[in-house]
Amino acid sequence: MAAISRRSFFDRMTDGLYGVALTSLIGQQNLMAENQKQHNIHRIPEYLTPKRPHFAPRAKSVIHLCMQGGPSQVDLFDPKPALKKFHGKTAPRELTGNAVFEKDRTGKLMQSPFKFQQHGKTGAWVSEALPHIAEEVDQLTIIRSMYNVHPNHEPAIYKLQSGQTFPGHPVLGSWITYGLGNENQNLPAYVVLADPSNRLPVNNVDNWMSAYLSPLYQGTRMKATGSPLLNLAPDYSESEQVARTKQRLLKQLDRMHQSQRPGQQELEARIRNYEMAANMQLEATQTLDISQETEQTLSMYGINEKETDNFGRRCLLARRLVENGVRFVQLYTRGQVWDNHQNIQKSLSSACRQTDLPIAGLLKDLRQRGLLDSTLVLWGGEFGRLPTAQIASESKMQVAGRDHGPYGFSAWMAGGGVKQGLVYGNTDEVGYASVENRVSIQDWHATILHLLGMNHEKLVYERNGLGERLTHQFPTRVVHDIIA
């Protein structure tokens, strides 16, 4: 046997240590993967291919018009003659029993500065502040009996989006994408059209988070002007055939890499997002190019008009996105234009002028193209406003606004299987709280899922032994009365 030199001994010993270290690391990696397999009972699919709903759907896609801030129900869709009668008087105590804060009980009632008129064949009452939506009232189901559980913006918005009043839970759009997948593999299933400025809505990106669901299901924010996404176009030009060949090669390499690392959701989401980004280079720009639209269509949305161009462009993009297979599109107004604490006649009028014509144009356009039957349009905020005046003194009643009113407010739905020309539910005689056919946020969520062909009790994600769902464990009903 050959003698072992000092140098040879230390060389061989180092090899052994490296081997032990490598074996340890591989063992830890395999253990982590095995643990993830055990805890993630619902395996994240390799692709966001379309999934079968629980039953035949009435709607295939959703456009959610997020009116953050709290549109005033008694100034838009829920006229209250009693406010004129009791103007300047304290709200009756028997009507304020649900108030969380004492200040909500003690304000002076304030009549609406806006006139109401009946519209359409069904004679629904709509404020003069919304003349264009009033023309579409026969397409709407107006719910006058919505209510939320918190009077502050942040918790109320979390509740509206995710069913809970605190962060860390997937939002409605993420649950829908998780349940139904993606119709168009070249575009995201869930698109967010926020204001083009850098100012995000209240709660920021939490509004479109997927939380404990895979990042595959979170919303993708797109811009209404210029390139819809940063770095969407490649730095150099090449033929489509070359681009496709490169994509196929990268896809094969990515999947080889992934197969060696099972159970890693973040890796799967990252790879899928890279593939989506490559596909979007060829389709997203064309889908969001409104230069293809006629002047008549642009005018219908108020595009190129100062007050309506911003929101109108995004309403038109929403139509183009659902037309191309996007499952869920969410639009946000600029800031909180509906948070009318002061001079409600002026501030509410401004919010309506920015959104009224574009939204009416969206409804008309969807209907003319045969898309409204399969597209569910949602309008509403996280709450409404109190029927009382928010003022420092009675002498300033003429320029008063209204404080947050979660106890009863209005929202509406259109298309996608809901009844046309229906007014559902009621608030009390002054519009303080919902009292008839009350609709909670979880009822609203369950009804939306039902219209999309999903049972809210069966749309479950198993996490650490818990069956998580959008409606959580709250008492919930599908509001069948509003379904056609």
Per-domain boundaries in the chain: 1-39, 61-228+288-482
Could you give the C-alpha distances from 31 to 25, 262, 284, in angstroms and in order? 10, 11, 40
Phi, psi angles (nearest 5°) of residue 423: -110, 120
**3-state class (DSSP) for residue 463:** strand
Cβ atoms of 142 and 424 closer than 8 Å:
yes
Q: How far is CA 362 from CA 40, 132, 207, 324, 377, in A?
A: 40, 11, 23, 16, 9
Measured between alpha carbons, how far is 348 from 345 in angstroms, rounded to an integer? 6
Q: Which two tokens stand for residue 318?
A: 């929403």
Query: For each of the chain's 484 residues, which pLDDT tens digit applies?
Result: 455 665 555 555 444 544 444 445 445 444 444 444 444 434 444 457 899 999 999 999 999 999 999 999 999 999 999 999 999 988 877 777 667 677 777 788 999 999 999 999 999 999 999 999 999 999 999 999 999 999 999 999 999 999 999 999 999 999 999 999 999 888 999 999 999 886 799 999 999 999 999 888 999 999 877 666 655 555 556 676 776 677 677 777 767 776 777 766 666 666 666 666 666 666 777 888 899 899 999 999 999 999 999 999 999 999 999 999 999 999 999 889 999 999 999 999 999 999 999 999 999 999 999 999 999 999 999 999 999 999 866 667 888 999 999 999 999 999 999 999 999 999 999 999 999 999 999 999 999 999 999 999 999 999 888 899 999 999 999 999 999 9
Fold of 61-228+288-482: Alkaline Phosphatase, subunit A (3.40.720)
Distance of alpha carbon 339 from alpha carbon 322, whole angstroms: 29
Q: What is the pLDDT of residue 346?
A: 97
State the residue for tokens 């002047």: 295
Q: Can you tell me whether residue 143 is helix, strand or coil? A: strand
- pLDDT (0 to 100) of residue 77: 98
- What residues contact residue 98 under an 8 Å CB cut-off, 6+ apart? 407, 433
The position carrying tokens 């709250």 is 474
Alpha carbon 301 to chain centroid distance? 21
According to the model, what pLDDT value does residue 297 have?
98
What span, in angstroms and rounded, lies between the C-alpha atoms of 113 and 108?
A: 15
Residue 240 · residue 282 · CB < 8 Å: yes
Give the integer Cα–Cα distance in Å for 24 and 152. Answer: 51
Q: Check residue 17 and give its pLDDT.
A: 46
